[in-house]
Structure 1
Amino acid sequence: MESIVILLVLTGYFFAIGKISGQDISVSDSLKNDLQKSTNTESKIKTLLRLSTEMESFDNNKALLYAQQANSLSQETSNDSLVSACLNRIGACYIAMDEFPSALKYTEEAKTLAEDKKIIREVAIALGNLAIIYEALGDYKRRSEYDFESLKLFEQLNDKYNIGIRLGNIGIDFFYLGEYEKALEYLFKSLKIAQEINDQPGIASQYNSIAGVYLEIYKDYDKALLYYKDALAISKKSDNKKLEGTVLLNIGDLFYMNQQNDSAIQYYYNALDILNELNSPHNLAWCLIKIGQYYSNAGKSEQSLKNSLAALKIGQENNLLEVVLNSSAILHNVYLQNNDFENAYKYSLVENRAQDSIYSQQNQKDLLKLEFQYNLEKLEKQRQIQQQRRNFFIGFIFFGLITGIVIVVLINSRQRIKVKNALLENQSISSELNFKNKELSINLMALIKKNEMLADISNNLIELEKEAKTSETKLAIDKISKKIRHNSDDKLLKEFSTRFQEVHEGFYESLLKKYPDLTQNELKLCAFLKLNMSSKDISELTGQSIFALENARYRLRKKLGITNSSVNLVTFLSQV
């Protein structure tokens, strides 16, 4: 029967918004007392959210009002988790009121904020709400996708309770998609988790849903009845009146479908007793319609009229057009069977008006769905465009980053090559300088030895001059000796100066720039001292006496401004 499917869907709906069963009014009263006593803003917000959830079973408008109050308070805090929770709650309230455009608006806001702040729980809840919105559009495939995404996030959080709820929702998704084996598989998975965490309402709800599949799809009355009775036992034990009434109605339908009318009417009346205690006009009206239909088929007009009129009254008071249509149809038929054509006509008009209203309402819903679908597609396109822009921006940044890294690496590599080349060049220059220094030292020693040899030759010539007998011979020897001395000194010093400047380029220029009064002989002395030559070595090279060299050194110190200083002359010149 249609009602079985409706009740099965209803169970899934309660799962989707996180509300499995009705709550006693005293719970709401207790929460209201907590709200009045609370002085902490965040505590007030949490209480308002709970109140909104509780009131959803009784009054959607009040549920929305509490959610909106919570949202207003959340703007005064910096708690993003509470803000997204409030937005999700408002979205759930609009879902319960079938106002899907508003539901989508708040749910998307909640999802965006939660994703941005990485609040996984609220993202998962938002995905669950989106699943219901797509169900309203008849897009069960998309709904199942959102339910699976929500499930994955709750699995990350290891939230068994919500994992069980999402598994149950996915089971209902597969039911709508016609994959009944899959539907049962996920409903049983949900049942297993509910049993693991001892969630009694969850166990009862899944038993009820599983029974509905076996009854509606497989026509397995025995198995369906077994699960219904399990659900009934748990709902009674946990004092869950709303679920108890639902299960009793479903068992009545099972017996009615199986043509066990006496059992069916007994369960309908049991359900009626429960539903009369609850503020659930929709379920109460449908229960009265079932009883009215039963008595109509049984030819008991009075009981049929009584129950059908009661259902009609509830339907008219609560604007339940389907209830008005079905109850007026029963009244029309009963009066017609009793030849009361006036009342038959009266209720046929009510029936037709209800049918027209439903048709008109359905057209409006279809238009709203089309508009909603358009807005949804528009939103999806905007999201895709934003994502493309974001991807382009990220790609641009990534490309720029990679390019920058490559440039930095190339510059760094080039710089390293430059440094390496500079080091190699310095090493080469240093090696060349060391070589020239060594060469200069060798040449210097050779010059000294050469000078010593020439000095010996000159001395030998002097001895020969003394032994010479003629004045012409003596004069000739003396000329040769002097010429050897003079030429050797000039050549030696000239060669030394050339070699020195090759090794210590710019030394003379630097000295003259700082001390322009230096003479050529003083510059030569500086060069000798730069090479760390002793006075003895300089004497042998230049032919000057050591005493004369010491005086020359003293005069040099005066010109360099280090007469009264403890600075070593050789050290001073090595730094020039």
Structure 2
Amino acid sequence: MRNLIMRIREVDLRFLLTIAFSVALSLLYSQNNDSFDSLSKELIQTNDEKARANILIALSAEVEGNRPENALTYAMSAHEIAVNHHLDKENILSLVRLGNCYMRLSNYREALINADQALELATKLNLKDEIAKSRTILALIYYELGNYEQSAKLDFENLAYYEQVKNQKQIGVVLGNIGIDFISQNNYEKGLEYLKKSFDIAVETNDFRGMSYQYNNIASLYADYFKDYSIALRYFKEALKINKKLDDKQQHGIYLMNIGNCLSKLDENDSVLWYFQSATRIFKGLNNTYLLSKCQSQISSYYLKTNDLHLSILHADTALQIGQKYNYHENIKAAAELLHKINLIKNDTIKAYRYAIIEDEEEDSLVILLNQKEVYKLEFQYSYEKSDKIKQIARQKKENLMVVIIISLISGLVIILLIFSRYRIKAKSVAIEKRSIEKELEFKNKELTINLLSLIKKNEMLSEISNKMVEIGKDAKKDETKDAINKISRELRNSSDDKMMKEFSLRFQEIHSGFYETLLHNYPELTQNELKLCAFLRLNMSTKDISELTGQRFLTIDQARFRLRKKLGITNSETNLVTFLSQI
């Protein structure tokens, strides 16, 4: 009888799977009645959907061992609530739980589908812890199907994550699982190395459960593969001692059974029966039929070894009945094999033949199950490769799309830079042209101003001459002479004014073309004198300059400016008239 080795997968959900090396079977998780009753009461009392989903997930884990169908129902209900109320985290955890339940029921197809969905959703939402939990159940499914390489790959991915987040406890758990992956591939030395690493971390983190599990695993390795039962016995007893602090009855029974098996190998038969009977009492109290059936077979083997055939038959028959009731194929085969041997010893060939038939039938059932696992393994390998190929194609398409987008962005950026560069060159050219025009305009304005000043001087000279002639006319004796002088004075004055204004208008139009047209278009009621005033102001001429040029008084010019503001619609006293006209 092989010792039981602990492969821990989900500490947070308190899910424990125990694996026998010979057939990689699942050990039933015993139901804690107090815990079940407490959870059931909470489920009835709460109306919060998130709380209900989490309670149902916990209930599923609680009853999975003895009632896997009920566990599946709880998990389905939790998943339904999570989906209907958009509870992402609970959705993922319920999918993980469904994967566990389907695996328990040997429905590996559904187990893998749900585990894959959990991983996909967790990855999409970038929920790191849930990604790790999803990988955990996937690793366990592949382990159960004998795909140890894929199981180890997922375990190593989890190890990398837990090292990144520095979760020492989970690092220890994953190291233990990796150790079992190596052992399952017959790499016992490497497996032992990882089990010891897991144990050391359990000691560092004060994780008593982890310590007891790895003591048991190391002991099983020494017993089953190195055949060193003395070392194995020492480790088993250490596991039992630590477990007493945890008060975990199921594990206590497992350790007692493993110690009894180890003592039997060492032929220390005095205490073997006590360990097996103690384990039996625990499994009966927990109503763990699977372990009870297994323990009964071990007790039967002990009595067969001590030639007590009556008691050997009694316990083997009990193991057989339990196995047949719950369809535990391996336990049925082991019990039938014992009964076959016992009846051969008793020379009861008819009964021996009957049990041999049962043994062969169960052997066939186990072969069918094994073949079914192989078929599932091949099918899943095909599905995995197909899915991986589809993902690779999708990833390649995505990468190609990203390349196209990047190239498009780069091309767009280059085009924008070219356009911007062209715009800058054009803007620079326009700026240069504008500065050139402004300089030319400034030059012409200066030229016009100089001309105006020259005209003003000429006008002043003519006015002075005209005034002197008026004075001379006053001194003239004859009226004809006076009239002639006055007439010449007036003509001289009028002629100079007209010539000056014509020359000013001509020069102003050359420099500020369109100024008069724009003014007349926007303000058609403006008079010729007002247009001239606008031109003077456009040149930023002061009232004094305008007065000297036109001969008008300051007051007259100020009044003209007031009327002009009114016609131009400038009601705001803060608006400067010169500035306003300079913008036209």
Total equivalences in the alignment: 557
1:430 maps to a residue whose letter is: E
- Give the TM-score normalised by the residue count of structure 2: 0.78
Contact 1:131 1:143 in 2 (8 A): yes
TM superposition shift of 1:129: 0.4
- Give distance in 2, aligned partners of 1:363 and 1:455: 130
Alpha-carbon spacing, 1:343–1:564, altered in 2? closer, same or farther (3 Å):
closer
Contact 2:253 2:283 in 1 (8 A): yes
Alpha-carbon spacing, 1:556–1:388, altered in 2? closer, same or farther (3 Å):
closer
Deviations 1:241-272 (A, max 9, x none): 22122222222332333444555455334433
Which residue number in structure 2 is paired with residue 474 of structure 1?
none
Which residue number in structure 1 is paired with residue 234 of structure 2?
226
- Give the TM-score normalised by the residue count of structure 1: 0.79
- Give distance in 1, aligned partners of 2:14 and 2:99: 12
Q: Which residue of 473, 497, 502 maps to 2:510?
A: 502
TM superposition shift of 1:527: 4.8
Contact 1:15 1:166 in 2 (8 A): no
Q: Which residue of 15, 18, 42 maps to 1:19?
A: 15
Contact 1:124 1:151 in 2 (8 A): no
- Give distance in 1, aligned partners of 2:362 and 2:444: 117
Which residue number in structure 1 is paired with residue 294 of structure 2?
286
Contact 2:8 2:177 in 1 (8 A): yes
Deviations 1:144-181 (A, max 9, x none): 22223334445566655544432322222232244444
The 10-residue stretch of structure 1 (269-278 or 232-241) with the greater mean CA deviation from structure 2: 269-278
TM superposition shift of 1:89: 1.3
Deviations 1:155-208 (A, max 9, x none): 566655544432322222232244444433433343344445544333221211
Alpha-carbon spacing, 1:177–1:491, altered in 2? closer, same or farther (3 Å):
farther
Q: Which residue of 187, 191, 215 maps to 1:183?
A: 191
Which residue number in structure 2 is paired with residue 35 of structure 1?
43
Q: Which residue of 135, 144, 153 maps to 2:152?
A: 144
Deviations 1:444-502 (A, max 9, x none): 434555777899999999xxxxxxxxxxxxxxxxxxx9x99999999877765554333
Alpha-carbon spacing, 1:13–1:343, altered in 2? closer, same or farther (3 Å):
farther
Contact 1:22 1:240 in 2 (8 A): no
Contact 2:79 2:95 in 1 (8 A): yes
Alignment pair present for 1:253 and 2:253: no
Q: Which residue of 322, 330, 338 maps to 2:338?
A: 330
Which residue number in structure 1 is paired with residue 100 of structure 2?
92
- Give distance in 1, aligned partners of 2:569 and 2:100: 98
Identity, % of aligned positions: 42
- Give distance in 1, aligned partners of 2:226 and 2:75: 42
Unaligned stretches of 5+ residues in structure 2: 17-28, 470-488
- How do 1:92-171 residues align onto structure 2 when only pairs under 5 Å count? 92-154=100-162, 161-171=169-179
1:306 maps to a residue whose letter is: L
Which residue number in structure 2 is paired with residue 475 of structure 1?
none
Alpha-carbon spacing, 1:242–1:535, altered in 2? closer, same or farther (3 Å):
closer
Alpha-carbon spacing, 1:421–1:300, altered in 2? closer, same or farther (3 Å):
same
- Give distance in 1, aligned partners of 2:248 and 2:533: 117
2:110 maps to a residue whose letter is: S
TM superposition shift of 1:96: 2.0
TM superposition shift of 1:510: 3.8
Alignment pair present for 1:318 and 2:326: yes
Alignment pair present for 1:438 and 2:434: no
What SS does structure 1 have at the residue aligned with 2:126?
A: coil
Alignment pair present for 1:79 and 2:87: yes
- Give distance in 2, aligned partners of 1:435 and 1:272: 117
- Give distance in 1, aligned partners of 2:198 and 2:500: 110
- How do 1:530-549 residues align onto structure 2 when only pairs under 5 Å count? 530-531=538-539
- Give distance in 2, aligned partners of 1:354 and 1:316: 10
Unaligned stretches of 5+ residues in structure 1: 462-480
- Give distance in 1, aligned partners of 2:379 and 2:524: 99
The 10-residue stretch of structure 1 (165-174 or 421-430) with the greater mean CA deviation from structure 2: 421-430
Contact 2:31 2:66 in 1 (8 A): no
- Give distance in 2, aligned partners of 1:202 and 1:536: 105
Q: Which residue of 336, 344, 348 maps to 2:356?
A: 348
TM superposition shift of 1:77: 2.5
- Give distance in 2, aligned partners of 1:559 and 1:273: 118
Contact 2:547 2:557 in 1 (8 A): no
- Give distance in 2, aligned partners of 1:26 and 1:515: 99
- Give distance in 1, aligned partners of 2:449 and 2:468: 28
Contact 1:64 1:90 in 2 (8 A): yes
- Give distance in 2, aligned partners of 1:303 and 1:522: 136
TM superposition shift of 1:51: 1.5
Contact 1:515 1:559 in 2 (8 A): no
- Give distance in 2, aligned partners of 1:169 and 1:63: 24
TM superposition shift of 1:85: 1.7
- Give distance in 1, aligned partners of 2:206 and 2:523: 103
The 10-residue stretch of structure 1 (163-172 or 55-64) with the greater mean CA deviation from structure 2: 163-172
Contact 2:445 2:511 in 1 (8 A): yes
